[in-house]
Amino acid sequence: MLSKKKTVDALVAAWQQDAAMAERIEAIRTIEATAATYAPLPSDMQPSLVKALHARGIEQLYTHQREAFDYAMAGQSFTAITPTASGKSYCYHLPVLQTILTNRHARALYLFPTKALAQDQKSDLHALIEAMDEEILSYTYDGDTAPGIRQKVRKAGHIIMTNPDMLHSGILPHHTKWVSLFENLQYVVIDELHTYKGVFGSHVAHVIRRLKRICAFYSSDPLFICTSATIKNPKELAESLTNTAHALIAKSGAPTGKKTFVFYNPPMLHPAFGVRRSAVLEVRDIAKQLYDAHIQTIVFAKSRVRVEMLVTYLQAFTKHQLQDTTIRGYRGGYLPSERRVIEKGLRDGEIRTVVSTNALELGVDIGQLQACIMTGYPGNIASAWQQAGRAGRRQDSALIIYVAQSTALDQYMIEHPDFFFGSEPEEARISPDNMLILMDHLKCAAFELPFRTNDLYGEFHIEELLDYLVDEHVLFKTSDTWHWMNERFPAHDISLRSAAQENVVIIDQSVPAHTRVIGEMDTYSAMTLLHEEAIYMHQGVQFQVETLDWDEKKAFVRQVDVDYFTDANLAVELKVMSEDKELVLSDAKIGFGDVSLLAQATIFKKIRFDSHDNIGSGPIHLPPMEMHTTATWLSFTPPSQLSKEQLTDVLHYVAYTINSFIPLFIHCDRADVHVVPQVKAVHNELPTIFVYDSYPGGIGLSEKVYDMWRPLLEKAREHITRCRCENGCPACIGAQATFDEPKQQAIRVMTQLRELFN
């Protein structure tokens, strides 16, 4: 049989010769390889450390690694921007090991966003320590750590590798068992800093404040070392997360290989409506070409549903082979054991194509992949670069294929390929000020150590809050001290990861005698993904939700084989509770403040595979979710030329476009902010567009948008104006036209709004 193996370069060359492909490829950009810049090993580096580096063939450091070492030795906390494969772990291993070699009592705490990453780094660190031939003890400490060795880890471990969740509920509330760690803690390493954004980042910011408080109690004052992928504000994020001043190492000295970027736009199906062929189907076809050419590929999709759809499509290539495991899915919601098997398969090369959500953006070690396909723009530049970094980590030529969807942001990206290369990455925001999060962790902090009058908690004055907790019978105040005085163990009531703090467990009851748990999902997503009759996909297998027990948070599913998937609608009602900021323009008003919100899943649609036709629908019966959060809004005098119906539609168009472009300005997950239009807002009876944070209490995203209405509107208007469709399409104003000149009306209203700022 003829081998169809091809190199990346040969495949791209073939595509350029192919007329159909060439038409769809809107741009090809190549980043040439760059050479490394080096600095010598520090002269005072301990001999055993030098020996270990030499054993690995390292005679000199990349400049950023040397800079890191020097900052640490000077006692300065720092943050290093480290692209994939730049040897980032040396930025912290070297100073930490150097310090331990000179002071055997010194301790370090490494934080990784997930357990898997800590496990991964452990083997790496162990190998380094082994090459040094020194007695330095490093351990992972998490739910998997055997009870038998926990005591040893606590007492004797020089380097403890854990995750924020374990620190939050397993270490800090038991700090008296970790006295030798806290008394001697010299370094706190925070890897993958950029992942600490939004709600999770805000929680972790408080976990770090609690950690620092406990260190102060034991008279230690550790340095913080953070490493981050490229984001706009690494220093600001690190400082906000750790409440400590940081130096920044922005330039990497590591070499990079050649990367070829292909910007692929699916063919137009209905030019008038601006509808293109589904990106998912295009990705399927491209992935098949790569699979046949034996190019190991990772396919990124934005949602779990997309991942499962793609796995289903792709596994169809190999269905004639028994027990084929060369194509796999990988995403949150799989059980850890399942994930370990997949990671290993990738490293071994046994898996040739993997389809993933952003779970694999993180530095899980899966060895070299040759190509990466993005199904749609991942929502922000930082993520896009992270995904692209998955290809060609350790080899020369890598291929990155961006397949655009019909949405506004995706089309903007494909029209502006240089935006991807030239523009600044987005900001990552956290909000330690969120009252609910602050209060949660204040309780934990009060449990861990009593507060005294005039004590600050992090940067916060908290006397009023502590007195409130006294009223709530949580604390007890003596003359100058607030003591914990409650039976609860507060850390157990607080989860760092999920907004709703409770997950719905998914139970497969296909075989009645052997029901089994196959995954879990947060409640907010469950409203639209696990309602009764929803099709839930897991490893490409379809399950239908038979019963959703909302009170018990259990979804019972059964395996089915149907030719459609489901898509649900969420209706939202908003009320302004208080207005904290206000900007009055000539004919409009911008506000920021607290809102109360009522979200309810209403109906779902069944959509056929391949054609994506709507083939049925049904109601969803779930209780509404109520939430208090922060929002910014823009209210304006209704334009006289529009009827009420027209205005409703136009507002939806404007909201749709704005929603698409928010990720250009702030680094957040798509679901972190929402845009909702109201023809007659309850608080002022004016047409209003709301942008709200989708987490109770808000996490500072809409507050940021409050300052960005003008560039946001400009960007949106410019995009609609330039869109080549006739009457509006998914790439600009979204929905189908219901009256004449919808696009023109939208442009008119947006022009009007933009002019308010002049």
> What does the binding site for other proteins look like in residue numbers (CB under 8 A)?
173-177, 179, 216, 219, 221, 243, 433, 435-436, 438-439, 446-450, 452, 455-456, 458-462, 464-465, 468, 473, 476, 478-481, 483-491, 577-578, 594, 626, 628, 696-697
Q: Which is nearer to other proteins, 239 or 649 (CB)?
A: 239
Q: How far apart are CA 622 and CA 279, in angstroms?
A: 32
Q: Which is nearer to other proteins, 223 or 588 (CB)?
A: 223
Rounded to a whole number of angstroms, the minimum distance from the CB of residue 152 to other proteins is 16
CA separation, residue 597 to residues 212, 439, 636, 692, 693 (Å) = 36, 21, 21, 9, 10
Rounded to a whole number of angstroms, the minimum distance from the CB of residue 602 to other proteins is 22
The candidate with the shortest Cα–Cα distance to 346, out of 322, 370, 373, 314, is 370
Rounded to a whole number of angstroms, the minimum distance from the CB of residue 188 to other proteins is 16
Q: Which is nearer to other proteins, 127 or 216 (CB)?
A: 216
Rounded to a whole number of angstroms, the minimum distance from the CB of residue 599 to other proteins is 14
Q: What angle do CA 43, 44, 46 make, to 5 degrees?
A: 115
The letter for the amino acid at 289 is: Q
Provide the residue count of the chain: 758
CA separation, residue 191 to residues 79, 98, 102, 188, 676 (Å) = 10, 19, 24, 10, 36
Rounded to a whole number of angstroms, the minimum distance from the CB of residue 461 to other proteins is 4
Rounded to a whole number of angstroms, the minimum distance from the CB of residue 628 to other proteins is 5
Rounded to a whole number of angstroms, the minimum distance from the CB of residue 70 to other proteins is 24
Q: Which is nearer to other proteins, 177 or 724 (CB)?
A: 177
Contact 427, 232 (CB under 8 A): yes
- DSSP, collapsed to helix, strand or coil, labels residue 429 as coil
Rounded to a whole number of angstroms, the minimum distance from the CB of residue 697 to other proteins is 7
Q: How far apart are CA 748 and CA 754, in angstroms?
A: 10
Beta strand 297-300 pairing with 371-375: parallel
CA separation, residue 620 to residues 206, 529, 544, 547, 562 (Å) = 37, 11, 14, 12, 20
Q: Which is nearer to other proteins, 26 or 455 (CB)?
A: 455
Rounded to a whole number of angstroms, the minimum distance from the CB of residue 179 to other proteins is 7
CA dihedral for 394, 312, 263, 361, sign (positive or negative): negative
Q: Which is nearer to other proteins, 400 or 491 (CB)?
A: 491
Rounded to a whole number of angstroms, the minimum distance from the CB of residue 696 to other proteins is 6
Q: Which is nearer to other proteins, 149 or 250 (CB)?
A: 149
Contact 553, 530 (CB under 8 A): no
Contact 687, 651 (CB under 8 A): yes
Q: How far apart are CA 228 and CA 79, in angstroms?
A: 7
Q: How far apart are CA 755 and CA 758, in angstroms?
A: 5
Q: Which is nearer to other proteins, 470 or 570 (CB)?
A: 470
Cβ neighbors of 74 (< 8 A, separation 6 or more) are: none
Q: How far apart are CA 448 and CA 176, in angstroms?
A: 9
- DSSP, collapsed to helix, strand or coil, labels residue 516 as strand
Q: Which is nearer to other proteins, 318 or 501 (CB)?
A: 501
Q: Which is nearer to other proteins, 285 or 626 (CB)?
A: 626
Q: How far apart are CA 13 and CA 399, in angstroms?
A: 12
Q: Which is nearer to other proteins, 337 or 478 (CB)?
A: 478
Rounded to a whole number of angstroms, the minimum distance from the CB of residue 57 to other proteins is 43
Count the helices and strands in the chain (H runs, E runs): 24, 36
Rounded to a whole number of angstroms, the minimum distance from the CB of residue 603 to other proteins is 26
Place of tokens 């779970």: 359
Neighbouring-strand partners of residue 391: 369
Quote the longest CA-to-CA distance of the chain: 86
DSSP character at residue 177: G
Rounded to a whole number of angstroms, the minimum distance from the CB of residue 577 to other proteins is 7
Contact 388, 400 (CB under 8 A): yes
Task: State both tokens at 363.
Answer: 């530095």
Beta strand 688-693 pairing with 673-678: antiparallel
Q: Which is nearer to other proteins, 171 or 749 (CB)?
A: 171
Beta strand 107-111 pairing with 159-162: parallel
Q: Which is nearer to other proteins, 171 or 295 (CB)?
A: 171
